[in-house]
Amino acid sequence: MGDDSVPKTSPRLLSTFLDLVRIYSPSGSEADCASYCAAALRDAGCTVRFDDSAQATGSNTGNLIAVLPGTVPATLVVSAHMDVVEPCLGVEPVVQDGRVFSAGETVLGGDDKSGLAVAIECVRHFSESGEPHPTVKCVFTVKEEVGLVGAKQLGAEDVAGDLCLVLDAAG
């Protein structure tokens, strides 16, 4: 395959993923990750809000809900979670031979920083491409790793859509 077979967004997607895995966000401490995601989604044209679940979940932030208005009458919900399992402090990602891994004694945090990066890139693509697209609703939850705690606080209106993609990964 030549270089032209690699999507032009791949370097940005990788950069976003690497940024995200460096952010310390164990269950209950997702605020820094949420701030990064909120800024990226706002920059891509979304309205962003946080629900009031922090007190109920014990997290330092609520679930993030972001909406990119569509140009066609449909809604795509893209869901991922912002917390990762320990040990996740001081992640040093290494890219080698097309793979990303942790250089140290930490987990990489691919579960679920990869889902967050893909969701953000999806919004960026629709925002920048000029292609017809549905309304895209990103729902990023807290405390998934300890029992879907944040997801259980979502209202039906938060996840309402015509199609829902739940982006979760191992690793």
pLDDT in tens, 154-168: 999 999 999 999 999
Would you please indicate which residues are annotated as catalytic (active-site) residues? 83, 144
Domain regions of the chain by residue span: 3-166
Pairing of strands 99-102, 93-96: antiparallel
pLDDT of residue 52: 97
More confident residue, 47 or 9: 47
CATH number for the domain formed by residue range(s) 3-166: 3.40.630.10
pLDDT of residue 53: 98
Q: Among candidates 10, 44, 40, which has minimal Cα distance to 126?
A: 44
Question: How much is the average pLDDT of 12-32?
Answer: 97
CA torsion angle for 161, 66, 108, 11 (degrees, to 10)?
A: 100
pTM as predicted: 0.93
CA pair distance 117, 108, nearest whole angstrom: 14
pLDDT in tens, 89-131: 999 999 988 889 999 899 999 999 999 999 999 999 999 999 9
Indicate the pLDDT class of residue 8, thresholds 50, 70 and 90.
low
CA torsion angle for 102, 105, 111, 117 (degrees, to 10)?
A: -40
pLDDT in tens, 57-88: 999 999 999 999 999 999 999 999 999 999 99
